[in-house]
Structure 1
Amino acid sequence: MAITVIQNTKINTQVFTFTSPATVTYPVAPLVSAKFYTPEGGPLTLKIRATLYMNSEDTIPPTVQTPIENGNVLTMNYDYNFSEETPETCDVYYIEVDYTSDTVGNITEIDSYMVNEDPETSRGTEVIVKYP
Structure 2
Amino acid sequence: MHKYPETFKHFNTKNKKLCTMNLNMLCTSLNDFFKISMADVDSEMIGEYREVFSYLQNQGLDVSWVLDRLNYIEHLRFSKPLFSELHSIDCHIDNAKSKVQELQALRLEKLSEIEKAFGTRGTNLTSGFIGDDLLASL
Fold-level match, TM-score > 0.5? no
Specify which structure has the higher proportion of helix.
2
TM-score (norm 2): 0.23
Higher relative contact order, structure no. (Cα contacts within 8 Å, ≥ 6 residues apart): 1
Structure 1 or 2, whichever has the larger Rg, is 2
TM-score (norm 1): 0.24
